[in-house]
Amino acid sequence: MSAAVTREDVSRAAEVIRGRVHRTPVFSSHSLGDRCFLKAELLQKTGSFKPRGVLTKLASLSAEEKRRGIIGVSAGNHAQALAWGAAQEGLDCLVVMYRGASEAKAAAARAYGAQVDLEATGPNDSFTRLRLLEQETGRVLVHPFDDPRTIAGQGTVGLEIVEDVPDAATVVVPTGGGGLVAGIAVAVAPAGVRVVAVEPAGSRALHEGLAAGRPVDVEPRSIADGLNAPFAGELCLELCASLGVESVLVTETEIERGMRFLYERAKLACEPAGAAAAAAVLAGKVETTGPVVVVVSGGNVVARIASDILAGR
């Protein structure tokens, strides 16, 4: 695969992962808006969209690369997906997380058989730790967002959207490092579908990167831990810029409102990160002319945080 990612690459990824992941449902949501739909990717294996990219990347590895084992870095959802994918392939897996990351997500990764390294002090330091361990161990990196095969795999969400909502005008996507929104844009933008990336105001790596035209280091701080990327991927930014992806920011209060809405009205028990796109629509930050598809990207949240948000505490 070349440095660029094409719709044909996404179609090939769909064939690679066919039968290995769920085709997640699309629900109409009149409560969210006229002709609004929810793409329930929180119902995916391991509770988020991440296995799509993981399986696509793992399928590209040579036998020698697989023998070396794999390594990844994550706030939690990629860690779980990578651990699960490694278990499916019989691969040795090490995931770098950080102190203060979701212990539930770390425990899930361990339960799938991965080693979890928690020496990093935060999201930014975790990538420094990743580079050190990658060099020391000789493992093959499975990047959480900035890899052409990962992006192509995540783009299969977009293929399913345009098949299920063929007249979709806009797709709204929760965004961290940019792999999901870039992949979806590759899949749907050629058909004239508008794509909107939604980030927390306190974790705006893609927003800053698009403004600067290059990856920009940020200090991410949001209750939506799945979106706390310390930078957006270089390839993700290139694709988003070339495909006209728009950027919208939401507050913590708006994210919490979005999560409550999805739980109460759509019966979707999502995590804060998974609610970001719905939050933007509810807050009137995304124009909803024509059919709008809102991606609910994940559902991995501990009961205590979920109950506090749902109770408005």
Cβ neighbours of residue 176 under 8 Å, at least 6 residues apart? Answer: 75, 145, 199, 203, 205, 206, 226, 227, 228, 229, 273
C-alpha angle 55/305/247, rounded to 5°?
60
Mind listing the pLDDT tens digit for each residue in 260-303?
Answer: 999 999 999 999 999 999 999 999 999 888 999 999 999 998 88
Reported as a single tens digit per residue, the pLDDT across 109-123 is 999 999 999 999 999
Query: What does the pLDDT read at residue 1?
Result: 37
Are 68 and 139 spatial neighbours (Cβ–Cβ below 8 Å)? yes
Q: What is the pTM of this model?
A: 0.96
136-195 pLDDT, tens digit per residue, is 999 999 999 999 999 999 999 999 999 999 999 999 999 999 999 999 999 999 999 999
Chain Cα centroid distance, residue 74: 11
What does the pLDDT look like over 19-64, one tens digit per residue? 999 999 999 999 998 899 999 999 999 999 999 999 999 999 999 9
Which residues lie across from 195 on neighbouring strands? 171
Banded model confidence at residue 307, pLDDT cuts 50, 70, 90: confident
Question: Given pLDDT bands bounded at 50, 70 and 90, which one contains residue 311?
Answer: confident
CA angle 88, 298, 111 (to 5 degrees): 40
User: What domains, with CATH codes, occur in the chain?
Assistant: 7-49+148-310 (3.40.50.1100), 52-141 (3.40.50.1100)
